Amino acid sequence: MTSTEFLSDSPAATEAFAAQWAQNLQADTAILLEGDLGAGKTTFIRGLARGLGITEPIRSPTFTLIHEYTIQQPPHLQGLPFFHIDLYRIETPEQIRTLGLDELFERMGITAIEWAERLRLLGVPLPTQWGYTVRLFPEGETRRRITVHPLRLEVSETGYSRD
C-alpha cells in the first residue's frame, strides 16, 4: 500500500477510515501511531480492531501496556493476534525490552503501537521490516488530518525512519 491522507470530521469517521484501511493489511505488520494526547490514536485503533472483526471493547492499555485480541477477518488474517501497545509510560530502552516485542512480532500478527515515536527517541529498533506510520494532527475540535506512510525497509537495523 502507498501513502495516503484522510481528513476526518468525527471520531466515527476516523474509526470508519481505519476499519476500511485495515482490510488491505498483510500479516506481520506494525502500525506506528504518532500524535499528541487526544489526537485520536486510540480511536484509530478502535477502528482498526473493528475492521479486523474484533468485537471486544478497545481501551488504551495504559497500565498493562499490551492488549491482545484475535483477528476474525478478513479471511487472510483470521486467527492471527492483534496487539495494542501503548508506550506512553515508557521512559527507558530497558522498559521496552521488558515488553518482549521480539516474541510478539514472531507471531506474525498486526501490532498497533501508540506513542511509537518513543521507539525512535530511545533508539530501539523495531523487530519487523514491514509496517506503516500513522500520524494524527488535530485541526480543530473534531477535525483530524491523518497521514499514513509505509515504513522503509531498512527500518529494523536503524530504528524506524521518518519520511
Residues that bind ligand ADP (CB under 6 A): 8-11, 13-14, 35, 37-43, 114, 142, 144
63 makes contact, choosing from ligand ADP, Mg ion, none, with CB < 5 to 8 Å by partner type, with none
Query: Which residue, 59 or 162, is less far from Mg ion as judged by CB?
Result: 59
Site of grid cell 525512519: 161
**Under the phi-then-psi rule, with left for phi > 0, alpha for psi from -120 to 50, and beta for the rest, what region is 115?**
left
Query: Which residue, 71 or 113, is less far from ligand ADP as judged by CB?
Result: 113
Distance of alpha carbon 47 from alpha carbon 82, whole angstroms: 13
Distance of alpha carbon 29 from alpha carbon 129, whole angstroms: 8
What distance lies between CA 41 and its chain's CA centroid? 8
Minimum CB separation from Mg ion for residue 158, in Å?
Answer: 26
Minimum CB separation from ligand ADP for residue 44, in Å?
Answer: 7
Question: How many CB atoms neighbour CB 122 within 10 A?
Answer: 16
| Interacting residues of 3 by C-beta distance below 8 A, sequence separation 6+ | 147, 148, 149, 150, 163
Pick the piece of the chain touching Mg ion (CB under 5 A) from 10-18, 89-97, 107-115, 154-162.
Answer: 107-115
Residue of minimal Cβ distance to ligand ADP:
40
Minimum CB separation from ligand ADP for residue 91, in Å?
Answer: 18
42 binds Mg ion (CB under 5 A): yes
Distance of alpha carbon 152 from alpha carbon 84, whole angstroms: 22
14 binds Mg ion (CB under 5 A): no
Dihedral pair phi/psi, residue 94, rounded to 5°: -55, -45
Q: Which of 41, 84, 120, 135 binds Mg ion (CB under 5 A)?
A: 41
Dihedral pair phi/psi, residue 89, rounded to 5°: -90, 5
Minimum CB separation from ligand ADP for residue 73, in Å?
Answer: 23
Which residues contact Mg ion by CB under 5 A? 41-42, 60, 114
